[in-house]
Amino acid sequence: MQSKARITALGTHVPEKRLTNEDLEKMVDTSDDWIVQRTGMKERRISAENEFASTLAFKAIENLIKQSQKDVSDVDCIIVSTSTPDYTFPSVASQIQKHFQIKQAGAMDLNAACAGFTYGLHVANGLISSGLHRKILFVATETLSKITDYTDRTTCILFGDAAAAVLVERDEETPSFIASHMGTFGEGGVHLYRTNLSTTMEEHSLNTSGKIVQNGREIYKWASRTLPTGIEELLQQAGLDFDDIDWFVPHSANLRMIESICERTGFSIEKTLTSVEYMGNTSSVSIPLALQKGINEGKLKNGDTLLVYGFGGGLTHAGLIITWGTDDVRHSTN
């Protein structure tokens, strides 16, 4: 299906509180050098006790409106990517509908973990290109700090909180979406999980603390094998070469992992946008944070061709090649 959808606006929000490597040194047996060598991270943002996925989402949407002067009252579908909703139900999307008094819109949350941003864009593109919708508000919002075990030094150094919002609108003349690729390795689900109703996964007994449990070594190996193949599929589908891509924007899980993927694929780290150094791993929000950072630094410009790739729990992954072309009138991260 030929795309008839364009990403027309972007907004982001991060909480005020910073959690630095020096702060973590006081909490667990770790050090700034150890964290930087293994992850490239220096800081991450942490939501306040009374801030939730919906709270951050509202502020990201407000930032989108401020940057683009866009109206969200007429969107006809709201999609939210989150692994940390305020409630099992009602959905965060429903809370957004109420908060912004959007009269005629369907609302749903989806959970593809760290691949949520690329999954959500894929869904929004399909709904608009098929003619079912004309204007979709898509939000990624995560409060991972609330489900992080701060006694586990291997995971507590990783995660941060943030939200981002985009508008995807019907545009038959200058669509954003060029190619897409999705995949799943469900057998690896046991390597990254948070329990809910079930306490076992097939023959495996699970840690039922309600916190994130991750086998970082296995996730690293899976991502390093999977992304190069997915990227090759995307380029072939689009009929493009590496040199045709202006910016590679992978999920900012870990800077060392991104460097490894760049080495395996041939992408230059200098042509890669990340948000990991001062935001940590923000799951489905990491890609739009990197996009906003690229805009703020004068790197990302309208007309640029991007290869964005999300990967994470499930184990799910999804990549897109898109043309960047928003209607934003100003750029700032609040």
Positions marked active-site: 114, 251, 281
CA 235, 78, 223, 274 torsion-angle sign: positive
Q: Distance of CA 110 to CAs 78, 84, 107, 222, 324, Å?
A: 11, 11, 10, 23, 24
Q: Any residues with CB less than 8 A from the CB of 248 and at least 6 apart, and which?
A: 262, 265, 267, 271, 272, 273, 306, 307, 309
**42: Cα separation from own chain's centroid:** 19
**Alpha helix stretches (DSSP H) within the chain:** 21-25, 32-39, 53-68, 92-99, 116-129, 216-238, 255-265, 276-279, 286-296
The pair phi, psi for residue 121, each rounded to 5°, is: -65, -40
Those residues with Cβ within 8 angstroms of residue 327's Cβ, 6 or more apart along the chain or in another chain:
8, 9, 68, 70
Strand partners, 322: 177, 306
Of 264, 278, 231, 246, nearest to 41 (Cα)? 278
Distance between CA 15 and CA 12 in Å, rounded?
10
